[in-house]
Amino acid sequence: MKVLVSGGTGLVGRYIVEELLAAGYTVIIGGRHAPLPRFFSRPVEFAPLSLDPAHDYIEAFEDAYFFVHAAFHHLPGKYRGGEGDDPETFKRFNLDGSVRLFEAAKRAGTRRCVFISSRAAYGEHAPGTMLKEGMPGKPETLYGQVKLDAECSLAHLASPGFATASLRLTGVYGDLRPNKWDRLIEDYLAGRHLRSRAGTEVHGRDVGKAVRLMLEADAARISGETFNVSDVTLDTWDILEHIRWERDCVNRLPLPADKAQLTPMDTAKIRALGWSPGGMPLFNQTIHALATLA
């Protein structure tokens, strides 16, 4: 079956595309430009697509049985604060443009739509609070508000024959290059000062598995629903301690961060469907590979 993936060449979208290709799906990359040859491990198709709500891209969905929406308009390198000094354009593209694509998918007869959302939809909570899908969202950033509003809009479109689901991702790491930790590793090896920081993370391959689960699970169990996607808790020390040993580097590591200040995401809901992330073994394998390539 064919899956249209918007934002498939992005840092998160690439993992989704690779998981779907490995599972035997035919993937159509929706975007402004076709991916470069051999960008993915297997051949993909291409369909012109953008987040501009002034255009109707229903023709991009004609061959697509499923739609995965991972595209996002933002300043380079920024999500929170990605609107810069133009919040109206940020909202018009990421909310109005997303809803326009959801509606086009439904009109075209696409069977399922999966939206890549964010833990930012929850907003700030007291340290140690376990974030669960039934909690009311109270985002304090435009990024989080746009994600939450898009989730709600998609859920309202759910109907028999058009199953919808939103995945709230935590920080996504992985082994594809370029990598989210490239700059961190470079700064450490160069002896630059680094701040201690902790966060919750999930491997991109596990994100891909979560997306695939949304396409293959019983529609009645996922339609109109939101699912947390998170795995391990890491700080800067956890990441760089591996680099230190692998590269025999004598530069000082930042102090461990206080992980008790975090608000972890409860993943029981998606695990009940059969999702099982790689945990620390997958992190250790990944950081070893990154250390070797650094």
Domain CATH code at residue 221: 3.40.50.720
User: Per the domain annotation, does 265 fall within a domain?
Assistant: no
Its domain, for residue 54, covers 2-173+203-231
User: Per the domain annotation, does 135 fall within a domain?
Assistant: yes
Q: How confident is the model at residue 139 (pLDDT cuts 50, 70, 90)?
A: very high
Q: How far apart, in whole angstroms, are the C-alpha atoms of residue 187 and residue 114?
A: 36
User: Per the domain annotation, does 29 fall within a domain?
Assistant: yes
Q: How confident is the model at residue 75 (pLDDT cuts 50, 70, 90)?
A: low
Task: Report the half-sphere exposure of 79 (CA within 13 A, side-chain side).
Answer: 20
- Using CA atoms, how far residue 182 sits from 91, 172, 175, 178, 240, in Å, is 30, 14, 10, 7, 11
- Indicate if the pLDDT at residue 202 is higher than 60: yes
Q: How confident is the model at residue 81 (pLDDT cuts 50, 70, 90)?
A: low
User: Per the domain annotation, does 94 fall within a domain?
Assistant: yes
User: Per the domain annotation, does 45 fall within a domain?
Assistant: yes
What letter would DSSP give residue 199? E
pTM: 0.95
Q: How confident is the model at residue 120 (pLDDT cuts 50, 70, 90)?
A: very high
Provide the domain count of the chain: 1
User: Per the domain annotation, does 62 fall within a domain?
Assistant: yes
What is the chain's alpha carbon radius of gyration, rounded to the nearest angstrom? 19
pLDDT of residue 162: 98
User: Per the domain annotation, does 244 fall within a domain?
Assistant: no
